[in-house]
Amino acid sequence: MQREEAETIAVSALAFIAADGELLPRFLSLTGIEAHQIRAAAAEPGFLAGVLQFVLAHEPTVLRFCEESGIAPERVARAPAALPHGNTSYDIQP
């Protein structure tokens, strides 16, 4: 997977998180950033990989994201490895 495709998936995941009233507060709490800091944080190396790691850490969340976005779970699972500071320790089965 190319970095551009991984970034597109991560941005979609961030929009998914931001639109969810339960996920967004949890994401902000875990990352230690505030809502108004998201845009600046997104430019930092590792942030987009962290967004994907957050989604991938909870199977129901990743499956719901995949269903809503139309992106296959395997693609989401591979995307962090194409991003700075990505982690490939997740193995999502379709």
18 located within any domain:
yes
Number of independent structural domains in the chain: 1
Range of the domain at 46: 3-82
Pull the structure tokens for residue 58: 């909870």
pLDDT digits (tens, 9 = 90+) for 29-38: 988 888 888 8
pLDDT digits (tens, 9 = 90+) for 38-49: 888 888 888 999
88 located within any domain:
no
* DSSP-derived secondary structure letter, 20: -
40 located within any domain:
yes
pLDDT digits (tens, 9 = 90+) for 62-73: 999 999 999 999
Q: Mapped to the 3 state alphabet, what secondary structure does 25-79 carry? A: HHHHHHHCCCHHHHHHHHCCCCHHHHHHHHHHCCHHHHHHHHHHHCCCHHHHHHH
62, 20 Cβ separation under 8 angstroms = no
Pull the structure tokens for residue 23: 């996920």
93 located within any domain:
no
Is pLDDT above 50 for 10?
yes
66 located within any domain:
yes
63 located within any domain:
yes
94 located within any domain:
no
71 located within any domain:
yes
- pTM for the structure as a whole: 0.84
